[in-house]
Amino acid sequence: MAGLISIEDVEAEYVTAPLEDIFARAFDEQAFDVTELSFSNYLYLTSIGECPYIGLPVFPSRAFRHSAFYIRTDRGIRGPRDLAGRLVGVREFSMTAALVARGILEDDFGLRSKDVRWRYGPADAKDSDPIVRIKPNGVELEPLGDNSNLSDALRDGEIDAMVAYKPPPAFLEDAPNIGRLFIDCDAVEADYAQRTGIFPIMHLLGIRREIAERTPDLCIRLCDAFEASRRFAVERTNETQAPFTSLPWGPTEAARSRRILGQSFWSYSVKANQPALEALCRYSYAQGISNRLVKVEELFAPTTLNWVPS
């Protein structure tokens, strides 16, 4: 967007908006030729053959999600398995943050999505109403009461826990009896990364299917341009003379990330992300979102399946 990296033979018009708005406009209106997409909702729509976009192996958002669990500390919840039978809130059951968070609970602690009673609604008093795209198979999922939101419901004890991609006001405001499920999130997430080799993917880049089919070489040019942009951004996190980020210890934190995740910790391409991609496909089917187990190669434009960043 700054004009530092160009896309070969493309004159781009960039549109910025809150991510929820971008996803809704993309999935419901096909408003963009190329767009960032929620991975989980893209995966679901692909599984039923109704997605207007095909993926490119470019992943602009990634995050570990052990830190996404917030609990009532007065309900006897000492570990993940104590969530069995509990009321747990989530903004959208199909959002990628929740998909990954639930997948971690099943993989590492044997807690299945169907073992939990799910409630959905706005994350807080300022949040918009969620878009409900699916009703998961075999999972209890019901709305919160009228005029309620997850943060207040947790604060008031109406639910036992919630999954949130950012800390809810009840937690930030130090409301009584509100805490995290995983106390030392950084250490738990680092251990998970080293054991699994997975840095969870939240979003991917999508291109309208008819454009990808009409100009398949454009898919590669887009991947190359986003790879150049990624390299530029990641390399600048190492700057110490005039730091690129506003973090006091940014370069030190970047070095820590490389120690834990490897030199190419934020990578593009299908091959470099096979474990993370397979996990997302498996989670979606196991949690009753996708109606079948989607194969990784179904998710990306054919010309990009063997694309190797240069």
How many domains does the structure of the chain reveal? 2
Q: Are residues 70 and 57 in the same domain?
A: no
Residues 88 and 148 in one domain: yes
Of 176, 195, 214, which one is at a domain's C-terminal end? 195
- pLDDT (tens, 9 = 90+) of the chain, 310 residues, equals 889 999 989 999 999 999 999 999 999 999 999 999 999 999 999 999 999 999 999 999 999 999 999 999 999 999 999 999 999 999 999 999 999 999 999 999 999 999 999 999 999 999 988 888 889 999 999 999 888 999 999 999 999 999 999 999 999 999 999 999 999 999 999 999 999 999 999 999 999 999 999 999 999 999 999 999 999 999 999 998 888 889 899 999 999 999 999 999 999 999 999 999 999 999 999 999 999 999 999 999 999 999 999 8
- Residue 110 located in a structural domain: yes
Instruction: Outline where the chain has alpha helix (H).
Output: 19-29, 39-47, 96-109, 150-155, 169-172, 185-196, 209-214, 216-236, 250-261, 274-286
Residue 100 domain boundaries: 66-195
How many angstroms separate the Cα of 27 from the Cα of each of 33, 102, 216, 257? Answer: 12, 24, 21, 33
Residue 7 lies in a domain: no
Is 206 inside a domain boundary?
yes
Q: Please check whether residue 213 lies inside any domain of the structure.
A: yes
- 183 within a domain of the structure (yes/no): yes
Same domain, 57 and 74: no
pTM of the model: 0.95
309, part of any domain: no
**27/79 same-domain check:** no
Nearest to 187 by CA among 276, 260, 263: 260
Tell me, what CATH number does 105's domain have? 3.40.190.10
Q: Is the residue at 310 inside a domain?
A: no
